[in-house]
Homo-oligomer: A and B are copies of this chain.
Amino acid sequence: MNTFAEENYLKAILSLSIQGEELVSTNSIATELNTSAASVSDMLKKLQEKKLIIYKKYKGVALNKQGKSIAVNILRKHRLWETFLVKKLDFNWDEVHDVAEQLEHIKSEELIDKLDSFLYYPKFDPHGEVIPTKEGTIPQTDRVLLSEIEENTNGIVLGVSLDETSFLQYLNKLKIEIGTEIQIFDRIDFDKSVNISINNKKQNISNEVAKHLLIKNK
Contact = CB atoms under 8 A, between A and B. Distances in A.
Interface of A: 85, 88-91, 95, 98-99, 102-103, 106-108, 110-111, 114-115, 118
A114 to B, nearest CB: 4
Contacts of A95: 110
A89 B102 contact: no
A110 B89 CA distance: 10
A77 to B, nearest CB: 12
A99 B89 contact: no
Contacts of A108: 98-99, 102
Given A89-B118, A99-B106, A102-B108, 9 more contacts: A85-B111, A89-B111, A89-B114, A90-B114, A91-B110, A91-B114, A98-B108, A102-B107, A103-B106
